[in-house]
Amino acid sequence: MKNTTDTNSLRAGKHTATSRTIDKISATLSRRHKADRIFRMTGAAAVGTSLLFIALLFGSIFYNGYTAFFQTRINLEIFFDPAELTVTEGRVSGDFNSLVHKALDSEFGQPDSRDQRRKLYGMISQGAVYELGEMVERDPALIGTSKPVWLLADDDIDMLAKGHIDRSLPEDQRRIDNIQLEWVEQLESSGAVRTFFNSSFFLSADSREPEMAGILGALTGSLFTLFITLTLSVPIGVAAAIYLEEFAPKNRWTDLIEVNINNLAAVPSIVFGLLGLSIFLVFFWTSPLCPACRRHGTDTYDVADNNHFKPVCTEIGTSLDPRCSTVSRSIGYPDGFSSCSAPGRSGNHDRNNYRNGSGTG
């Protein structure tokens, strides 16, 4: 829009009577144009900042996360010892752990101390044992033969191989001991350490072993939630829109509905969470055992679980029996609710376990 100012000055030349005003304008013109440029640059800077934020967000998340798509494996010569493995009706049983241990021993020589043995054997993930089991199950002819196998490495070794652990740090500040580092370097020099595409990340559920953990369980949960949400919201939402646009008379009631819908879109999701919780409490108050406890009923109950259970149940003050039919002391109160949680789990999971003692008390 510089043209406007140009025409201004042109016109000023013709009408000398207004020359004083024009002088004033000309004097301020460069300042005004400068302000214009600054304003424009501020705008460009704002856009640049927003784009920078996007780049930063995606860049940092990709940079921090991409190595999760790969997993480290160690190549070891495994002897499928017939003395260790037995096949009964197509199912293989046996001590696959000892196969791995023997392979490690033959590679590095069995360490003398118990501690070092633990460190050596700890380099291979527990997942490798399952994989070996599946391998033999698929091909029982392997038993008695010897074969190099890429075994899943432990998460610490994985981190080391991917360069997330600084090898130059002193031993006591590193998650990997000098001796383990030595072993890994020996393996690396012989090309026995490699990263593979981490398919278990997509195909397995949560695990306590980071190298075996995957997102399948969480993804399934998300998809179920998504499915239910869509089946609920699409028909109702479309129907409401059709009514409001095509049928509804313009009156107070439809006005109220419209304001309501707009408002609901802006209500914090956590408030909806509170609504959901209340509905859960009201509708499922007769739920017998909480789902988690039912799953860990007497038949699957063991001592290890008890350790997880105890703090939970005693915290509620009502640890009654191993089944964790946790009867909260809320029975003493007409409107009490209680929950108990699955052993060793926490977070969202527990939120499904509320129940109320009032109806049955």
Partner 1 sequence: MEFLPCSYFWQLGGDTLLLHISTMPYTPELESYPAHKLLQLQHEIRWIAEQGGTEQVAASSSIAAEAAATYSNLKEISSAAAWAVIIATGSCCGYLVYQRIAPSFKARTKVEQMIRWALITSSSIAILTTVGIVLAVLYESLRFFALVPVTDFLFGLVWSPQTALRTDQVGSSGSFGAIPVFTGTLMVSGIAMLVSVPVGLMSAIYLSEFASYQMRSIIKPALEILAGIPTVVYGFFAALIVAPFIRRLGEQAGLSVSSESALAAGLVMGIMIIPFISSLSDDFLNAVPQSLRDGAYSLGSTQSETIRHVLLPAALPGIAGGILLGLSRAIGETMIVVMAAGLAANLTMNPLETVTTVTVQIVTLLVGDQEFESAKTLAAFALGLLLFIITLILNIIALTIVRTYREEYD
**Any contact of residue 261 with partner 1 (CB under 8 A)?**
yes
322-351 binders of partner 1 (CB under 8 A): 323, 325, 327-333, 335-341, 346-348, 350-351
Q: Which residues of 222-247 are buried (b: 16+ CB within 10 A; e: fewer)?
A: eeeeeeeeeeeeeeeeeeeeeeeeee
Tokens of 128: 């490798």
147-186 binders of partner 1 (CB under 8 A): none
CB 210 within 8 A of CB 77: no
296-315 binders of partner 1 (CB under 8 A): 297-299, 312, 315
265-284 binders of partner 1 (CB under 8 A): 266-275, 277-279, 281
CA trace torsion 43, 44, 46, 47 (10° rounding):
120
Q: Which of 93, 152, 98 is nearest to 124 (CA)?
A: 152
**Any contact of residue 357 with partner 1 (CB under 8 A)?**
yes
Smallest separation (angstroms) from partner 1 to the CB of 16? 18
Which of 15, 40, 167, 295 binds partner 1 (CB under 8 A)? It is 40
Q: Phi and psi dihedrals of 13, rounded to 5?
A: -65, -35
**Any contact of residue 243 with partner 1 (CB under 8 A)?**
yes
Pairwise CA distance, residues 290 & 324, whole Å: 9
116-145 binders of partner 1 (CB under 8 A): none
How many residues belong to the site for partner 1 (CB under 8 A)?
A: 100
Nearer of residues 5 and 116 to partner 1, judged by Cβ: 5
59-78 binders of partner 1 (CB under 8 A): 60-61, 64
Using the contact rule CB under 8 A, the part of the chain among 85-93, 158-166, 183-191, 250-258 near partner 1 is 250-258
180-219 binders of partner 1 (CB under 8 A): none
Tokens of 285: 């108050």
Pairwise CA distance, residues 196 & 257, whole Å: 55
CB 338 within 8 A of CB 325: no
Smallest separation (angstroms) from partner 1 to the CB of 164? 14
CB 103 within 8 A of CB 77: yes
Q: Which of 146, 141, 154 is nearest to 107 (CA)?
A: 146
**Any contact of residue 228 with partner 1 (CB under 8 A)?**
no
Q: Which of 345, 354, 219 is nearest to 291 (CA)?
A: 354
Smallest separation (angstroms) from partner 1 to the CB of 209? 22
Nearer of residues 112 and 245 to partner 1, judged by Cβ: 245
**Any contact of residue 108 with partner 1 (CB under 8 A)?**
no
**Any contact of residue 248 with partner 1 (CB under 8 A)?**
yes
Pairwise CA distance, residues 160 & 192, whole Å: 14
**Any contact of residue 221 with partner 1 (CB under 8 A)?**
no
Smallest separation (angstroms) from partner 1 to the CB of 243? 4
**Any contact of residue 22 with partner 1 (CB under 8 A)?**
no
Pairwise CA distance, residues 243 & 220, whole Å: 34
**Any contact of residue 30 with partner 1 (CB under 8 A)?**
no
Using the contact rule CB under 8 A, the part of the chain among 93-101, 140-148, 184-192, 286-294 near partner 1 is 286-294
Smallest separation (angstroms) from partner 1 to the CB of 19? 16
Q: Which of 186, 183, 212 is nearest to 199 (CA)?
A: 212
Which of 217, 221, 317, 344 binds partner 1 (CB under 8 A)? It is 317
CB 281 within 8 A of CB 354: yes
